[in-house]
């Protein structure tokens, strides 16, 4: 055949060059399957090793939270500016455009509402639906020290097993009840347990003292939870301190969608996380964007 003439001579095998190896910016991910590493790189920016996640999964137990009354109007316009979205499958299917380029983290545990004991959760979605949607990870609450600790641990390990089958990472969330102290001792315990049980990412709260030890003691990426609504400068300062202590980014909800200018606040948070902007400089970015 004419198209094969010279084909053998044209091949170059470079026998003196070792096979290429590829590093991964995600902590603890180098031994994971290709599919998991690929999905993690859609959540955590490979260039910075950090992420700005936009959380709006609050409705699964709070109902129509302030700022989330209309996800299609309040959140959908922001999705292009977030590295990843953390939401429920119901909100995703009804209110977020399928063409989004953001990574997708789906809430996979739930059960009680704010009218009940929140720690009494079960798995709330099957892994094959996460595959069907195209999720990059699923999230599960883990109540270390809570009344239903063992059940929430089982929720985590069940999803971890299913995630390995599907190539989908699991994000374990340290759920802190009113009776538990958000200090480094507790957060270090909870994050380490969640990672040891197989979660590929852990989301936890920030603490003023010892947060760097919490991060250092966890062998997978630690994402800081935004928590309650704070003044913009305070939220930016907390995010800055978290990433400078080693956090792989932030997962903010109320501090974004309850801000007077959500898009401007998201821009400022990105400056802190990805550009190491000083909080005061990021606040000026917020003010300029808001105006």
> Which element (helix H / strand E) includes 175?
none
Q: What's the rounded Cα separation, in Å, for the pair 252 and 246? A: 17
Alpha-carbon separation of residue 161 from 48, 151, 157, 179 (angstroms): 29, 15, 6, 30
Integer CA distances (angstroms), 128 to 80, 167, 168, in order:
26, 11, 10
**Pairwise CA distance, residues 30 & 15, whole Å:** 26
Q: Are 283 and 258 in contact (CB under 8 A)?
A: no
Q: How far apart are CA 205 and CA 242, in angstroms?
A: 9
Which is catalytic among the residues 116, 178, 203, 229? 203
Is residue 12 flagged as an active site residue?
no
Q: Give dist(CA 138, CA 43) in Å, integer.
A: 11
The residues annotated with a catalytic role in the active site are 203
């Amino acid at each position: 055949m004419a198209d094969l003439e010279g084909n053998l001579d044209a091949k170059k095998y470079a026998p003196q060059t070792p096979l290429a190896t590829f590093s991964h910016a995600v902590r603890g991910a180098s031994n994971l399957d290709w599919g998991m590493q690929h999905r993690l790189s859609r959540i955590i920016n490979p260039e910075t090793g950090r992420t700005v996640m936009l959380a709006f999964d609050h409705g699964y137990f709070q109902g129509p939270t302030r700022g989330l009354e209309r996800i299609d109007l309040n959140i959908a316009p922001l999705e292009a500016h977030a590295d990843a979205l953390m939401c429920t499958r119901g909100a995703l299917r009804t209110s977020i455009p399928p063409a989004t380029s953001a990574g997708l983290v789906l809430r996979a545990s739930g059960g009680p509402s704010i009218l009940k004991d929140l720690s009494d959760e079960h798995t709330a979605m099957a892994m094959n639906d996460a595959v069907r949607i195209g999720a990059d990870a699923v999230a599960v609450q883990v109540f270390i020290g809570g009344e239903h600790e063992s059940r929430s641990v089982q929720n985590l390990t069940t999803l971890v097993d299913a995630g390995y089958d599907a190539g989908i990472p699991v994000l374990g969330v340290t759920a802190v009840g009113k009776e538990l102290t958000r200090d480094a001792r507790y957060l270090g315990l909870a994050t380490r347990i969640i990672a040891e049980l197989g979660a590929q990412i852990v989301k936890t709260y920030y603490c003023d003292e010892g947060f760097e030890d919490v991060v250092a003691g966890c062998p997978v990426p630690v994402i800081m939870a935004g928590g309650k609504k704070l003044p913009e400068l305070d939220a930016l300062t907390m995010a800055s301190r978290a990433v400078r202590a080693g956090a792989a980014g932030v997962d903010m909800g109320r501090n974004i969608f309850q801000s007077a200018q959500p898009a401007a606040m998201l821009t400022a948070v990105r400056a802190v996380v990805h550009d190491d902007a000083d909080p005061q400089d990021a606040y000026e970015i917020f003010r300029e964007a808001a105006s």
